Amino acid sequence: MSHAFNFADLTPDLQLDALQSIGFYADSGLLALNSYENRVYQFRADDGKRYVAKFYRPERWSDAQILEEHQFALDLVTAEVPVVAPIARDGVTLHHFSGYRFALFPSCGGRPFEMDNLDQFEQLGRYLGMLHQVGSQRPFQARPQIDLRQDIARASQQLLQSRWLPAHLAQPLQQVLKAAQSQVPAMSGSSIRCHGDCHAGNLLCNERLTLLDLDDALQGPPITDFYLLLSGDRHDQLVQLDVLLEQYENFFHLPQSQLAWLEALKLRRMITYMAWLDLRWGDAAFQQAFPWFSQASYWQQQVSELEQQVKRLDLPALSLGLSDSW
């Protein structure tokens, strides 16, 4: 299948048949949840419990990479880190049916994470420290390793070949992408298994926080799971970081030197997100959700924002006076 794959033949009947193939029988309809990369559905089974079925996009991850994601989640649950882990059926978490791969998870409810709630930040720091402690125990073998320059280079190639790139913006985009690739720092030091997409949308609050969606789990430095949690001006980010680390450091250590990579990680995110949209544009779901992607005004705005983000690479790094020892 090509990158234009669009899940068109993943019909409700096929979904139900897939679930029945592993002994789960839906007692309700399948409610589509917010997911573009994969297809995710919530349902109530005949045992009265609610579950979530996740059908993986073909050709994105190998079986080995998905199984590493699953094992990481299971390792975290064993260590009492509140994540949603796949349900094993006869010892198997990744199932195959009619050309699709899918997994089943318990349904998890809760309130959205509040970015201005420092109590929630403190709790998150504790669980993130626990997650990284588990993540450091053994590395991923199959899943990707974050590399700022290579990741930006790969995404840049995708964007510069995009059919949606307006001709008059090709040179400005090429220039800012070249600057991004050359100016981001080379990350060094130990790497661990990270969540990979740790932001407010992947957090739920109930009696305690729950971390969702390890689909983007990767090998990287601990700071990888911090940069999407910091927002606002410099003072706001320092407060958020201070609260996160108060509990985090009881379980794992974040070298202060990694704070210098925050803006570079944000820049990488901006570029790879654009490339992801371009790669998936053949899927009608993306065209409906992101109609502005094909508009010249979007590309103009992105060039401007990328130029501003490249300039932020020269700003002084956040500093809390922490030890640089590993």
In eight-state DSSP terms, residue 293 is G
Query: Can you tell me the distance from the alpha carbon of 185 to that of 304, in angstroms, rounded to the nearest whole number?
Result: 21
Burial of 99: CB neighbours in 10 Å, binned 0-12, 13-18, 19+? exposed
Expressed in angstroms, the distance from the first to the final Cα of the chain is: 44
CA torsion 150→274→261→244, rounded to 10°?
Answer: -130
Q: Which residues are known catalytic residues?
A: 197, 213
Q: Which of 249, 273, 234 is nearest to 323 (CA)?
A: 249
Half-sphere exposure for 30 (CA within 13 Å, toward CB): 21
Determine the number of helices (DSSP H) and then strands (DSSP E) in the chain: 9, 10
| Contact criterion met (CB below 8 Å) for 39 and 10 | yes
In eight-state DSSP terms, residue 207 is S
Query: Can you tell me the distance from the alpha carbon of 166 to that of 252, in angstroms, rounded to the nearest whole number?
Result: 46
